[in-house]
Structure 1
Amino acid sequence: MAMPARRGRGAAMTRPTLSIVILTWNSRPLLEGCLAALPAATTPLAVETIVVDNGSGDDTGAFLARHPELVVTRNARNRGVAPARNQGLRLARGEFLAFLDVDTVAAPGAFAALVGELRASPDVGLVGPKLVGSDGTLQYSCRRFPTLLDKLLRRLPERWGRSVAEDVELRAWDHASVRDVDYVIGACQVMRRAALDEVGLLDERIFYGPEDVDLCLRMQRAGWRVRYVPYAVVAHLERRVTRKLLSMLTLRHAHGLGYFFWKHRYLLTRPTIAVARRAA
């Protein structure tokens, strides 16, 4: 059950350019760092920040109470990624919409750059930044659509699974140039409202992954391009999880992946999509 949303201070003002949806669960320290980086990352955009607390049992509630500028909605239990992010989308008023993981720190100008790319390219529906680790190491965040064979081979020891990973994660490319890709991972995605309105919200039958792949595939089938934008940079930190939680998430992800393949009617052959250029 979701508690009534709290509108941020100034919510009745002019419509924001960008709405950022952040999902959190027992991650107050990470949430604090994520939010602290947003002013520099979004200037000069008019922004509303929406935090969906997905049933946290830590001091997240008290922290959010000290930030009346945020739009906040809280769940009594963890509803999963797609349902909770959709809650945030339903509250969003922006012309552009973003998902941002709580374990991220956006670099100065990152969101301004992503919105700028969308404004300059009317046929692009969704963009993602370059993700780096806490030490600045590149994370392979834009990829080819997965197949069942990819997933199975990547479970093998590295010397056998490495070539599959290199292919799926486009590792032969330096990730230093703007490029249209199959999908960008959901740690940070920015999309135009018109594209989301056309394809619909996240599929709530996917609790944890691959809702981000599904969204990008649906956008491309509707004629929208998906683009990787490396001059926007977001640090994606490593979160520690318990073995029990990791096992649960692995099972949820496997279930979601099976549903994804069933939904899109493919297993071993990657979908090929020729996206027609939209009129400006």
Structure 2
Amino acid sequence: MTMASTLTETETDGAKAKETGDLTQQPRFAVCVTTMNRVDRLTACLDQLARCDPPPSLVVVSDDSPDPSVRAANEAAVAAHPGVVYLAGPRRGVCANRNNAINHCLAQTSRCDYLSFLDDDILIDADFFAAARKHYEATPAQRRYLTVLTGGAPNGPHLHVCVPMHLSFACYFKKGDVPQTVQINASVFPLELFTQETFDENIFFGTEDAELCLRMLRRGYSIELEPGLRSLETMTGRGVLTATRAAGLTRYQLCCEAARLYIGVKRYRVIEPNLMRFAGFVFFYFGHMTVYLARRGALSQLVPIVRTSNVWRVFTGHGAR
């Protein structure tokens, strides 16, 4: 994924500003919304974005809905919101869907400096981008395009509580001293990052943002907490992957465990290569997973988890950078 080969004069000026850290022009924010099979939720998400002050400079919707009638309804919902861009999604998982929207933003660099990612059931506060702008304006110029902002949880008993999190040895989210992961639906990324990294499309769903953060941090980016980035998940526990269940596991659970296997192997083989930690992770993962599945009468799902993980692609060099 590369930047457009020909830059407009505005884009050239923007690139120079980024090189020097000059933000005399106020930062511009784009939003990538990924959707599938939830027309009403998408409409509510876009309605709320229209209430933001300042508004995002660009909103891109990438639609993974398999049913043509649903895609048509989503396209109509987007058309009712002036300036919002509709894209047919690749239907290869959430990472590919996000990358599809990112590609459009990379072709529109004159319109945005930062990206946020929203699922279709997310509502953000009206001052979301005002909080991001204020934070970046207070950030040292040389770090503005190397800093990712993240807010608090969009659901649960700790709604909007902003605490530093990291990915544990076993690739679970844990509290830490320094933020090393983000709340993907309450975050802001420099657009420039995505000329260097993409979401890894070997991950169908689950912890994909944490894997991106592992690579991002090694490139010198940092993550800072911003409590003003508040979002609300309106369909907690009712995602499209929770509706299907096989042998004791929902599709959502299977995908999350598959992603954890892939991320752990990639982490200790490619991102943070360490043979001892790699061996320890594999031993722990399969030992823990065997017990976890046995207690649920779902041992038959171990093979589908491994198959869904695409873990062999780590060894064949087919993962994202």
Letter in 1 for 2:230: V
1:232 aligns with 229
TM-score (norm 2): 0.63
Kindly state the Cα deviation for residue 228 of structure 1 after the two structures are TM-superposed: 1.8
Partner of 1:86: 99
Higher relative contact order (CA 8 A, sep 6+): 1
**In 2, distance between residues paired with 1:68 and 1:142?**
37
SS in 2 for 1:130: coil
Deviations 1:5-39 (A, max 9, x none): xxxxxxx9x77922100000011111111111113
Aligned to 1:258: 261
Larger fraction in helix = 2
Q: Which amino acid aligns with 1:111?
A: F
> How far off is 1:188 after superposition?
2.9
Q: Give the aligned residue type for 2:102.
A: L
Structure 2 alignment gaps of length 5 or more:
1-7, 12-26, 269-276, 282-321
Match of 1:64 among 63, 69, 78: 78
**Quick check: which one's strand share is greater?**
1
Compared CA separation, residues 33 and 86, structure 1 to 2 (3 A):
same
Shift of 1:50: 0.1
Match of 1:232, SS state, is: coil
How far the C-alpha of 1:221 sits from its partner, in A, is 0.8
Distance of aligned partners of 1:39 and 1:67 in 2 relative to their CA distance in 1, 3 Å threshold: closer
**Bigger Rg, which one:** 2
Query: 1:234 Cα shift?
Result: 1.4
Matched, 1:47 2:57: yes
Instruction: After TM superposition, give the deviation of residue 134 of structure 1 in Å.
Output: 8.6
2:130 to 102, 105, 112: 112
What CA distance in whole angstroms lies between the structure 2 residues aligned with 1:137 and 1:250? 22
Instruction: Provide the C-alpha distance between the structure 1 equivalents of 2:123 and 2:164, rounded to a whole number of angstroms.
Output: 18
In percent, how many aligned pairs have the same letter? Answer: 23
The one-letter amino acid of 1:100's match is L
Kindly indicate whether the alpha-carbon contact (under 8 Å) linking 2:33 and 2:61 is maintained by their aligned counterparts in 1. Answer: yes
Amino acid of the structure 2 residue aligned with 1:189: S
RMSD (CA atoms): 3.0
Give the direction of change, closer, same or farther, for the CA distance of 1:244–1:263 in structure 2 (3 Å limit): same
Does structure 1 retain, via aligned residues, the 8 Å contact 2:149–2:226? yes
How many pairs were matched up? 230
